[in-house]
Structure 1
Amino acid sequence: MTLTPASRRLRPALLRASVFALAAALATPAAAELELSFYGGWQTSPHSRVKGEYGSGTNQSSTFDDLIGWDGKSFAMPPYYGVRATWWRNEAWGFGVEFSHDKAYAPEGEMAAAGFERLEFTDGHNIITANVSRRWLEAWGSATPYVSAGLGFAMPHVDVTPVGGEHTYGYQVTGPAARLTAGVNYPLNDRWSVFTEYQFTWSDNSADLDGGGSLDTTLYTNALNLGVGFKF
């Protein structure tokens, strides 16, 4: 895994806040209850603008600014999935970390119109956050509703080829990210549970292109997740 100089263009204030939040979550001491959650589901990515500069070796004009209607393709390989760890400090509040393997493909027609042979973040558009969580035990009988919010960073696998240009293919730290989640957990026994949830992510991405040039886009995702949890 090779990280590129794109990380230098992260917005300083948001990056500092993300790193601080992640460090705080990782430094949280072991609590009475640790919950691991694993999920998959249906993830989409709405339209966003893609801006930047082509490398000098391409056949394109120097800059681009295009609206892309991204496809999520949740079940195409590699599939969309996520995992998180939550340290519940008491019956209501918890802290944790989360990784989600989101995906964004540019449709062929829009990709070609923007001057690209490949334009995707599919292995994946990885979002890493530190979360704060709130739950309401037995609020709906045995079911437990919960919400969480997180700050962190995006580390997508950038797969981009301008027409006539070089193929950019690798992981980059591209910018700050945030996550919001709301769901319901259903216990099966003292340790195992199942859950369903809605999740939204935002990331502000700036990727370096091999052969020169750059690509900037803000990516949003919406997901309906189903998962399983395990408590220690």
Structure 2
Amino acid sequence: MTRFCYIFLFIFTISATKFVYAQSIEVSIYGGLQSSPHSRITGKHSTSGAQYSELVGWEGKSFDAPIYYGIRTTFWRSDKLSYGAEFTHTKAYAPNKALQSAGFDRLEFTDGHNIITLNINKRWELGEFNTYSLVGLGIAIPHVDALPSGGLHTFEYQYSGPAVRGAVGLSRKLNDKFSIFTEYQFTASDNKVSLRNGGSLNTKLLTNAINVGVSYNF
């Protein structure tokens, strides 16, 4: 999946610079502390055919391997307005209590719950700092790691549905090429996942993150 995100951002960069004018191009990488609040999982068990519905308090575990991170490419059309593409490797683990109640031995989106969006970004000067906000629309491609009790293990990437993101942040230039930033970022996705042997799982996943990162301008 990491290779896929690099290829996606590279192709987007080459295509956009060839056909659309940009004053400058910025590539950013970031990490941070990511959480995922409660959401309800519903679906059908492949073993019994029974329906299930359970409220899950997801765990983010940002610094457990594979860690939470993101990559963003931004094309500045002017000093204030830009567009771009972004990949974020978010994570969600179902805790043991929820697993038992829902009839699962394992349920994770940890390699990861991958969000890919196209973004619009606006920034404002604030002395030696820039404040910015962005919104994005795209897709979720989670790595589904689900094992119903007594059932078959689903362990694969799937396209699961649409996704949105929003962020507000503060950046500061270090020199002509490099800058650092911190931001609050939110993502939401509507996920419909297929489990092996005819099972299903549906849930809306939200994430909240405080990110820190570095950008390179060229």
TM-score with structure 1 setting the length = 0.85
TM-superposition CA deviations, 1:144-178 (whole Å, max 9, x none): 00000000000000000100000000000000000
Distance 2:164 2:27 in 1: 20
Alignment match, 1:128: 116
Alignment of 1:81-230 (within 5 A): 81-136=69-124, 139-230=125-216
Q: What SS does the corresponding residue of 2:176 show, helix, strand or coil? A: coil
Quick check: which one's strand share is greater?
2
Q: Which has the higher contact order (CA 8 A, sep 6+)?
A: 1
Q: What SS does the corresponding residue of 2:192 show, helix, strand or coil? A: strand
Q: What SS does the corresponding residue of 2:115 show, helix, strand or coil? A: strand
Q: What SS does the corresponding residue of 1:155 show, helix, strand or coil? A: strand
Distance 1:197 1:176 in 2: 23
Distance 2:100 2:64 in 1: 22
Amino acid at match of 2:216: F
5+ unaligned residues in a row in structure 1: which ranges?
2-22
Shift of 1:97: 0.2
Distance 2:187 2:204 in 1: 11
Amino acid at match of 1:36: V
Alignment match, 2:29: 38
Shift of 1:212: 1.2
Q: What SS does the corresponding residue of 2:196 show, helix, strand or coil? A: coil
CA contact (8 A) 2:26 2:216 kept: yes
Distance 1:53 1:110 in 2: 16
TM superposition outliers: structure 1 runs of 4+ over 4 Å: none
Alignment of 1:67-86 (within 5 A): 67-86=55-74
Alignment match, 2:42: 51
Shift of 1:61: 5.7
Distance 1:107 1:194 in 2: 35
Distance 1:148 1:30 in 2: 20
Shift of 1:39: 0.1
5+ unaligned residues in a row in structure 2: which ranges?
2-11
Q: Number of paired residues?
A: 204
TM-superposition CA deviations, 1:83-127 (whole Å, max 9, x none): 000000001100000000000000011111110001110000000
Shift of 1:29: 1.6
Shift of 1:77: 0.3
Amino acid at match of 1:85: T
**Identical aligned residues as a percent:** 53
TM-score with structure 2 setting the length = 0.91
Distance 2:138 2:126 in 1: 31
RMSD across aligned C-alpha pairs, in angstroms?
1.3
Alignment match, 2:9: none
CA contact (8 A) 2:137 2:163 kept: yes
Alignment match, 1:4: none
Amino acid at match of 1:141: G
